[in-house]
Each structure stands twice: as structure tokens, then as C-alpha cells.
Amino acid sequence: MQDIDPIEQAEAAPFVVSLIVPVFNEAEAVRRFVDTVTQVLAGVATFEVVFVNDGSRDATERKIEALMAEGKPLRLINLSRNFGKEAALAAGLAHARGDVIIPMDVDLQDPPELIPEMLERWRAGAKIVNARRIDRSQDTWAKRLSAAAYYRIFNWLAENPIPSNVGDFRLLDREVVQAVLQIGDRSRFNKGIFSWVGFETVEVTYERPARADGASSWSWWRLWTLALDGIFASSTAPLRIWSYVGGTMAVFAFAYSAYVFLSVLITGRDVPGYASTLIVILIFGGLNMVALGIIGEYIGRIYYEVRKRPLYIVRSVKESED
């Protein structure tokens, strides 16, 4: 009996690829995205595009419905309002039917041309294939600098580091998605979750192209909020750090108190105290406020978790007819 190469057997077996695409006011970009994906994946794999409409206020929903009427292999998950990209991505993972799931952006900065290579790595046995950006020259210098700093800080604090310059664009095996769907966190940071679940992971690299259509809806404030959510959802290290800061400051305070006591006892000279007392009060007051803010961030997340509200609400689900 002839032995069958497991890789060749995997290549011959039929499979379905689900592309998870959260959209928010992306009416200008959806057609180009669908046309590009169709061209790249035609003959490579059976696929579906799962658009998650995250409360768009423009013509995004109508544009996707028009493409569905043309017979494109699309599904449309309409959320009841804007819940944010992390929740929209979770909704897409819950509704995807494929054996392989690939979250990606609609602006084509996650190049569909990379998907065949990612599928080859999956056929070879990988459960997660990360797409890492090796060139971000299309981003502003401020965004590149802040992103590099964030990855360093996050991986220094987090119990499970995340790969640098890897966004949501990655290939996930169905087994990985089933594991992710078991996680009920309301404060969602999907990059940290993908790292936490484990599984065999490999990497492909690409140069990040410019955005094809429209403009990004991500403001600096939203990016800052996402960054904080990522850190506080993935680590308790900030609380531990403030224990060390408090201990260090207490040591200095005791040392300074001993110095003042001995100075007065030995020399009999009063130590001028107004300026030094004011400085110490201001420093400790500022540190206390920062520490309380960090504690408040964790308490706020506990509040969201114990309410057990759903991560998102689906308004409707639409699908192209076969």
C-alpha cells in the first residue's frame, strides 16, 4: 500500500477560507477589496468574505448589499451600533464558517496577495500564521515611533508577549478560533488573546502598502484607548510596579526623616522646612493620583466584567444567494 504524504493529502482536501473584515464608514473601499480578493483567491481556495458592519453611518451597508446581489460570496453581519473594532472582530470570528479564518482590513493595507503563502504555511502544519510588517514607511513617523514604543512597553509588562509589528492580519486555524471563542472577556484585546491561546505559530513578512481608498477612522485618542485596554487586559504588572514605587519612596522618606532628626539632635539647628515639605507633598500627591488612576482602570474593567453585558448586539445577518 502506497504511503500518502500528509502535506499532499492536506493540499488535496477541500477547505473554506473565511475573511473577517470589520468595516466602519468604508463605503469607498468595499468594492475594490472584494474585487482584489476575488482575483487573488480564484482557483486557490473556496472562500467567503464576512463583513462586520460596525454601525456605519454612510453607504457601507448598501454597497455590500449591492455586491451580494451580484453573487459575490459575501456575508454581512450588521451590529446595532458602533461597538469598536475588537468587538466587531469577535463577532466575525463567531459567525465565520471556514476551516481557515483570516481577519484583515478593508483598506488593502493587509495585502490579499499574501494569503496563498499563508495557506501554504497552514497546509504544512501551522495553526497560526502571523503576518509581520517589515516596512511601515507609508505610516507617519509619529505612528511608527509610538507603535515601536508600545510593543516594547507591552512585552515588558505582559505575561504573554505579542509579536511586534503584527496586527490583526493573520491566519487562524478553526481549532484556534474555537479556543478563542471560549474566552468571555468584555475588555477585548484580540492580539493578546491570539498570543495567549498558544498553538504552533509561524510568521510571514510583508511591506505595508499605502491605503487604497478613503481615510482611516482611527484617531489618536482611539489608539491611546486601545493601547491602555491592551495593557490592562493582559497584565497586572502596573499594579505590581506601584508596589515597588511605593516601597522605594517609603525608604527615601524614612531616610530623609532620619537625616532631619539627627541633624536637629546633633547640631541643634532647625532645618528649613517650607520648601522641602511642599515639594514632598506635591510629589507624593502626584504619585498617589497616578496610582489611584491605575487602580481605577482595573476596577473599571472589573465593573464591565461583572455586569456580563454582551460584547456586541447583532441587528441582522445577510448572505449572498448561491
pTM, entire model: 0.71
Matching CATH number, 9-141+165-217+310-319, of 1.10.620.20, 3.90.550.10, 3.30.1490.20, 1.10.3720.10: 3.90.550.10
Which residues contact residue 11 at a Cβ distance below 8 angstroms, ignoring those fewer than 6 apart?
A: 123
Q: Kindly report the backbone phi and psi dihedral angles of residue 201, in degrees, each rounded to the nearest multiple of 5, phi listed first.
A: -125, 135
* Residue labelled with grid coordinates 483598506: 107
Q: What is the pLDDT of residue 100?
A: 92
For residue 4, pLDDT over 50 is answered with no
pLDDT above 90 as % of the chain? 8
SS3 track for the chain: CCCCCHHHHHHHCCCEEEEEEEECCCCCCHHHHHHHHHHHHCCCCEEEEEEEECCCCCCHHHHHHHHHHCCCCEEEEEECCCCCHHHHHHHHHHHCCCCEEEECCCCCCCCHHHHHHHHHHHHCCCCEEEEEEEECCCCCHHHHHHHHHHHHHHHHHCCCCCCCCEEEEEEEEHHHHHHHHCCCCCCCCHHHHHHHCCCCEEEEEEECCCCCCCCCCCCHHHHHHHHHHHHHHHCCHHHHHHHHHHHHHHHHHHHHHHHHHHHHHHHCCCCCCHHHHHHHHHHHHHHHHHHHHHHHHHHHHHHHHHHCCCCCCEEEEEECCC
129 vs 155: which has the higher pLDDT: 129
Give the orientation angle of helix 30-41 with respect to helix 60-69, to 10 degrees. Answer: 40
Is residue 203 within 8 A of residue 132, CB to CB? The reply is yes
Least confident of 18-22, 126-130, 183-187: 183-187
253 vs 173: which has the higher pLDDT: 173
- pLDDT tier for residue 10 given thresholds of 50, 70 and 90: very low
Segment 172-227, tens digit of pLDDT: 999 999 998 888 777 777 887 888 887 888 888 888 776 655 555 555 566 666 66
For residue 113, pLDDT over 80 is answered with yes
Q: Would you list the domain boundaries of the chain?
A: 9-141+165-217+310-319, 237-307
| Dist. CA 205–CA 134, nearest whole Å | 6
Averaged pLDDT for residues 80-108: 89
For residue 119, pLDDT over 70 is answered with yes
Segment 27-51, tens digit of pLDDT: 888 889 999 988 888 888 888 899 9
Q: What is the pLDDT of residue 299?
A: 79
Where are the strands (E) in the chain, listed by range? 16-23, 46-53, 74-79, 100-103, 128-135, 166-173, 201-207, 314-319
Q: What b/e sequence results for 100-133 when a residue is b if at least 16 CB atoms lie within 10 Å of its CB, and e otherwise? A: bbbbbbbbbbbbbebbeebbebbbeebbbbbbeb
pLDDT above 70 as % of the chain? 75
Q: What is the pLDDT of residue 27?
A: 85
Alpha carbon dihedral 45, 46, 52, 53, in 10-degree steps, equals: 110
Output the nine-digit C-alpha cell for 21.
473584515
Q: What is the pLDDT of residue 160?
A: 73
Least confident of 6-10, 71-75, 165-169, 176-180: 6-10
| Dist. CA 249–CA 245, nearest whole Å | 6
Is residue 130 within 8 A of residue 162, CB to CB? The reply is no
Q: How many other β-carbons are positioned within 10 Å of the β-carbon of residue 275?
A: 8
| Dist. CA 213–CA 30, nearest whole Å | 9
For residue 298, pLDDT over 50 is answered with yes
For residue 98, pLDDT over 80 is answered with yes
Q: What is the pLDDT of residue 273?
A: 63
